[in-house]
């Protein structure tokens, strides 16, 4: 499997890493890319992420047999509307958005007769540092990739996308857009929200800055994702707000249970709550083959 031309819309971390991964595996002959920032386009050329810089998203996808949209989810609708008239009818079009139901809804409105090209995707990969300068070909290696096929997607399209992502090292899973948004509200979106809230809650205290200076490895590990891109996460929380709110209700109930145990000095229940969470975390880590907690 080899593509003649990748049309890359968004030359940041995710899009640039996808391009580098394909090129490192010899899966594409040519990459034409667009980013709204001229500086980013220049860096992408310098790093070999793209071979040709386009002046618009529409120009980037022209004549491409593979198109990747790697932009904030809030920009997806406008982007799809712009590129739709310029897509080849038989191209494979994917995105990397962290939410899927909103992206699918936008695609139905914007793509018209090119909807048949679109197969939504979400790679579970990234870094704290954004931008083309941090892109790497190995970003998707041994990472999950979620495909959310739509009724119009053929088995040939699904197989093609699956083979492509597997070729750059991803473990491919399939879900419905609805199941995707529910699951990732639970395991990604709300954890990020909690990290942001924990930092804000700390710093709004009179002694917050002093407390922060005393923080150690536990705080570092818990708060790491609070350094994530604010605009990206603002858009994710908004796009998936119903599922985020539903998951927040579960968290608030769990937090209240801890609060009640501490308030009532119910040490037996408190230990049971901690033990249950600790054991679940250990089982998850072992089942995932994750040894990152090892000393």
152: domain CATH number is 3.40.50.720
In this predicted structure, what is the pLDDT of residue 26? 97
Q: Would you say residue 274 lies in a domain?
A: no
Could you tell me the residue range of the domain that residue 158 belongs to? Answer: 3-175
Residues of the chain with pLDDT under 50: 291, 293-295
In this predicted structure, what is the pLDDT of residue 127? 80
Length of the chain: 295
Question: Can you tell me the distance from the alpha carbon of 57 to that of 54, in angstroms, rounded to the nearest whole number?
Answer: 7
CA 114 to chain centre: 24
In this predicted structure, what is the pLDDT of residue 290? 61
In this predicted structure, what is the pLDDT of residue 105? 96
Under 8 Å between Cβ of 148 and 100: yes
What global pTM score does this model have? 0.90
Burial class (CB in 10 A: 0-12, 13-18, 19+), 6: buried
Question: Can you tell me the distance from the alpha carbon of 162 to that of 153, in angstroms, rounded to the nearest whole number?
Answer: 13
Q: Would you say residue 222 lies in a domain?
A: yes
Element (H, E) at 237: helix 230-239
In this predicted structure, what is the pLDDT of residue 295? 27
- Whether residue 203 sits in one domain with residue 217: yes
Please, what sign has the CA dihedral across residues 46, 51, 57, 59? positive
- Whether residue 23 sits in one domain with residue 167: yes
Cβ neighbours of residue 147 under 8 Å, at least 6 residues apart?
119, 120, 121, 158, 161, 162, 165, 172, 173, 174, 175
Q: Would you say residue 273 lies in a domain?
A: no
CA 286 to chain centre: 24
In this predicted structure, what is the pLDDT of residue 231? 87
- Whether residue 110 sits in one domain with residue 238: no
């Amino acid at each position: 499997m080899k593509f003649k031309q990748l049309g890359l819309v968004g030359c940041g971390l995710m899009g640039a890493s996808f391009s580098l991964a394909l090129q490192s595996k010899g899966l594409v002959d040519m990459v034409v890319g667009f980013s709204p920032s001229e500086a980013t386009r220049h860096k992408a050329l310098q790093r070999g992420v793209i071979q040709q810089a386009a002046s618009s998203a529409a120009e980037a996808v022209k004549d491409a047999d593979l198109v990747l949209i790697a932009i904030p989810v809030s920009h997806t609708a406008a982007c799809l509307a712009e590129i739709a008239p310029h897509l080849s009818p038989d191209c494979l079009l994917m995105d990397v958005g962290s939410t899927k139901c909103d992206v699918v809804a936008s695609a139905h409105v914007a793509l018209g007769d090119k909807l048949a090209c679109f197969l939504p995707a979400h790679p579970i990969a990234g870094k704290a540092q954004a931008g083309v300068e941090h892109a790497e070909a190995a970003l998707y290696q041994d990472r999950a990739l979620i495909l959310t096929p739509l009724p119009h997607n053929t088995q040939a399209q699904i197989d093609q996308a699956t083979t492509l992502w597997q070729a750059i090292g991803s473990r491919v899973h399939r879900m419905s857009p609805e199941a995707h948004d529910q699951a990732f509200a639970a395991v990604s979106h709300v954890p990020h929200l909690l990290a942001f809230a924990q930092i804000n809650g700390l710093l709004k205290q009179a002694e917050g800055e002093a407390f922060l200076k005393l923080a150690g490895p536990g705080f570092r590990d818990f708060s790491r994702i609070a350094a994530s891109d604010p605009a990206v996460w603002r858009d994710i929380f908004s796009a998936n707000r119903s599922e985020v709110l539903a998951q927040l209700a579960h968290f608030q109930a769990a937090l209240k249970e801890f609060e009640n145990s501490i308030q009532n000095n119910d040490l037996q229940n408190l230990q049971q709550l901690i033990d249950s969470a600790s054991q679940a975390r250990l089982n998850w880590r072992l089942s995932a083959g994750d040894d990152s907690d090892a000393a």
